[in-house]
Amino acid sequence: MESLFPERRELAVADAYGELRLHELAPPGRPYVIANMIASVDGRATLAGRSGGLGNEADRQIFLDLRTQVDAVMAGIATIGIEGYGPLMKSSERKAKRARRGLEPVPLAVTATRTMELPVQTPLFSDPGSRIVVLTNSDREPPRCAAQLSIERLPGEPLDLLAGMERLRAHRGVRSLLLEGGPTMLGAMTAAGVVHELFLTRAPKLAGSGDELSVLEGASLDEPLGLGLVSLLADGGYLFLRYRLGANA
């Protein structure tokens, strides 16, 4: 892998983002939020409805490495269902790395829903060892599952994701959160103004289909959001861009 910006040098994929120390960047009362997404050159986040066909090995490693750096990992209910999420940290080596960083061996899982139609058939929700926080404004009871569910009920319409982030910090001590998509959840979190950075892998592919989701869906931003480039890495035609968002850019 090669760093192209801010400096030019060779580096190992394992050192792509080194020690991010994200919890030190947390604003008062809520977590520092980074999003990690992959898109084709024409901006699509899926191929045949899944993200898997877009990635390469370096992207996979970075996806897992980012999980070793945060208190919590958040994903939308469609992503958890479609991608068949399982326990968030399986490798004992990565669990040990998290422990050396002062983190719980397995990150807290977080999702958000207005309908409470949780993907309880997935291995994540079937795993008694998984701790999952559900941010919701629904008063419905969650479906039964084996995972350890905590329901954070937030008043009001629409679902207040800023209040959700504040609850995660106040009730669960979450200082850093990795948002893994999907495009709708990224859109909602971006519109709520709670995302600080976007790690975007640019796959050297053209999806070529208008049926595929774009990297950001459903968001109504008041105006286009500026992004500040923090770093640019390259590996086998794949580009790994790290951006700061908006006022953080």
Ligand X SMILES: NC(=O)c1ccc[n+]([C@@H]2O[C@H](COP(=O)([O-])OP(=O)(O)OC[C@H]3O[C@@H](n4cnc5c(N)ncnc54)[C@H](OP(=O)(O)O)[C@@H]3O)[C@@H](O)[C@H]2O)c1
Q: Which positions lie near ligand X, rule CB under 6 A?
A: 37-38, 45-46, 49-51, 76-79, 82-83, 112-115, 117, 158-159, 180-185, 188, 213, 217-218
In a 3-state reduction of DSSP, which class is residue 109? strand
Residue 91 Cβ, how far from ligand X at the closest point, in Å? 21
Residue 161 Cβ, how far from ligand X at the closest point, in Å? 6
Strand-strand pairing, 2-5 and 227-235: antiparallel
Q: Which is nearer to ligand X, 50 or 153 (CB)?
A: 50
Measured CA distances, 12 to 1, 33, 58, 127, 151 (Å): 6, 25, 10, 33, 40
d(CA 10, CA 13): 10
Helices and strands (H, E) in the chain, number of each type: 6, 11
d(CA 19, CA 8): 19
Residue 7 Cβ, how far from ligand X at the closest point, in Å? 27
Q: Which is nearer to ligand X, 34 or 188 (CB)?
A: 188
Residue 169 Cβ, how far from ligand X at the closest point, in Å? 18
d(CA 14, CA 179): 20
Q: Are 194 and 30 in contact (CB under 8 A)?
A: yes
Q: Which of 45, 27, 63 is nearest to 178 (CA)?
A: 63
Q: Which is nearer to ligand X, 82 or 230 (CB)?
A: 82
Q: Which is nearer to ligand X, 41 or 96 (CB)?
A: 41
Residue 10 Cβ, how far from ligand X at the closest point, in Å? 26
Q: Which is nearer to ligand X, 23 or 147 (CB)?
A: 147
